[in-house]
Amino acid sequence: MPGINQVAQLAGVSTATVSRALSGNGHVSETTRHRVRAAARELGYVVSSNASSLATGRMRNIGVVIPFLNRWYFGAVLEGAEQALLRHGYDLTLYNLSGGEDQRTSVFEDFLLRKRVDAVIAISLELTGSEVERLLTINKPIVGVGGSIAGVRTLSIDDGAVAQLATEHLLALGHRTIGFIGGNRQSEMDFHVPSQRRGGFIAALADAGLTADPELFQSADFTIPGGYAAAKQLFGNPRKRPTAVFAASDEMAIGAILAARDLGLSVPDDVSIIGVDDHELAEFFGLTSIAQFPALQGEMAVDILMDQLHPDHTAHASSNTPLPFELIVRSSTSRPKS
């Protein structure tokens, strides 16, 4: 495990020069730079990021806090962020909060404060005021993805607009009795997203002169089984079976497709279904969906952080662009039969 001074010796220069040559900070003549690099390679030298961090105060590491791992959206954001970070030479340390409240506390009170990370990305998390404040006072930038956090720069699609677009698609096809599968109380807590999607749904209905019917609302937990159960309720209603359903996530929408099949209803002939996300399985199920681009969101979060961390880093125009989303029409929606 060679140290910087061994490299210095081999190259016949001082450690200061080695540091400059390798890090690119400060001027070093071409020739010395080469000698140093050669020496470093020969010895297989790699800087100790600890020593380096201790000296500079930069960790080259960012913390990502996430509520679960096994939900497609989270994984996709994480993957996007990871790629972008690697490209910048940063590490990603992961904090998964699925372990409950105690774990959350320890992550925020201990782990994140250990000065290990330069900044944090919070995915679909509603941070409390004190959690935010704590991080900000020790000067750790935060950016949120998917969900809004008071006082924090957050990247998220306009959930209201997304829901409105989805609903309009159904309306435009001629549907008038439209069911809605949204989040339940549990998911509202941290996501906050469901209620905005519900809002957009109601707004679109109102624009079309319709009023939302409470009988057509179901809530679920954003999973396939959850969507399945909710959809069965909707489709089973003999008096008011919807001809279309808007599910606030593709996973729930897929559950709804399966529920329809099990009830002998044909999609889209008997019932149209639309979701949100463009989940990796959406195409397989022929699901019409409003795509959002989670990997891109993860990357953007990283870009923003890099801007803040290295003020020179050429700011991407993306910085203040509203996030893209897009209606992708597949085979799960059509005009109502009758």
Partner DNA sequence: GTGAAAGCGCTAACAG
Partner DNA sequence: CTGTTAGCGCTTTCAC
Distance CA 179, CA 240 (A): 10
Nearest to 3 by CA among 38, 56, 43, 55: 43
**Interaction between residue 139 and DNA (CB under 7 A):** no
Whole-angstrom distance, CA of residue 53 vs CA of residue 63: 16
User: From the list DNA, a copy of itself, none, which binds 172 (C-beta under 5 to 8 Å, kind-based)?
Assistant: none
Question: Of residues 61, 177, 308, 334, which one binds a copy of itself by CB under 8 A?
Answer: 61
Question: Binding residue for DNA (CB under 7 A) from 47, 152, 263, 315?
Answer: 47
- Residue 117 interacting with DNA (CB under 7 A): no
Distances, alpha carbon 29 to alpha carbons 13, 24, 32, 83, 277, in Å: 12, 11, 5, 33, 52
Question: Which among a copy of itself, DNA, none contacts residue 69 (Cβ within 5 to 8 A by kind)?
Answer: a copy of itself
Residue 222 binds a copy of itself (CB under 8 A): no
Task: Say how many CA atoms lie within 13 Å of 62 toward its Cβ.
Answer: 29
Instruction: Count CB neighbours of 267 within 10 A.
Output: 23
Which of these, 205, 209, 126, 134, lies nearest to 163 by C-alpha position?
205
Of a copy of itself, DNA, none, which one does residue 20 interact with (CB within 5 to 8 Å by kind)? DNA
Q: What is the largest CA-CA distance in the chain?
A: 88
The tokens describing 218, both together, are 């179901």
To the nearest whole angstrom, how small is the minimum distance from the Cβ of residue 248 to a copy of itself? 19
Q: Shortest gap between Cβ of 5 and DNA (angstroms)?
A: 6
Structure tokens at 122: 């919070």
Q: How many CB atoms lie within 10 A of CB 1?
A: 8
Beta carbon of residue 47, minimum distance to a copy of itself (angstroms, whole number): 7
Residue in 323, 312, 291, 311 with CA at minimum distance from that of residue 153: 323
Considering only the stretches 40-48, 169-177, 236-244, 278-286, report the one whose residues sit in contact with DNA under the rule CB under 7 A.
Answer: 40-48
Binding flag, residue 280, a copy of itself (CB under 8 A): yes
d(CA 249, CA 289): 9
Choice between 47 and 295, CB closer to DNA? 47
Binding segment toward DNA, per CB under 7 A, in 44-52, 80-88, 238-246, 318-326:
44-52
Interaction partner, residue 14 (DNA, a copy of itself, none; CB < 5-8 Å by kind):
DNA
CA distance 330 to 268: 10
**In the range 49-108, which residues lie near DNA by CB under 7 A?**
51-52, 54-56
**Contact between 263 and a copy of itself per CB under 8 A:** no
Cis peptide before 268 (omega within 30 of 0): yes
Q: Which is nearer to DNA, 22 or 119 (CB)?
A: 22
Task: Determine the Cα–Cα distance for residues 277 and 290; give it in Å rounded to an integer.
Answer: 6
What's the one-letter identity of residue 289?
S
From candidates 9, 10, 27, 69, binder to DNA by CB under 7 A: 27
Other beta carbons less than 10 A from residue 314's beta carbon: 9
Continuous H helices in 44-180: 49-56, 72-87, 101-109, 129-137, 159-173
Report the nearest approach of DNA to the CB of residue 40 (Å).
10
Among 43, 47, 208, 210, binds a copy of itself (CB under 8 A): 47
Judged by CB under 8 A, the residue of 13, 18, 36, 92 near a copy of itself is: 92
Which residues contact a copy of itself (rule: CB under 8 A)? Answer: 1, 46-51, 53-54, 59, 61, 69-70, 72, 75-76, 78-79, 82-83, 86, 89, 91-96, 98-99, 103, 106-107, 110-111, 113-116, 138, 224-225, 228, 261, 280-281, 284
Which residues contact DNA (rule: CB under 7 A)? Answer: 1, 3-5, 12-20, 22-23, 25-29, 31-33, 45, 47-48, 51-52, 54-56
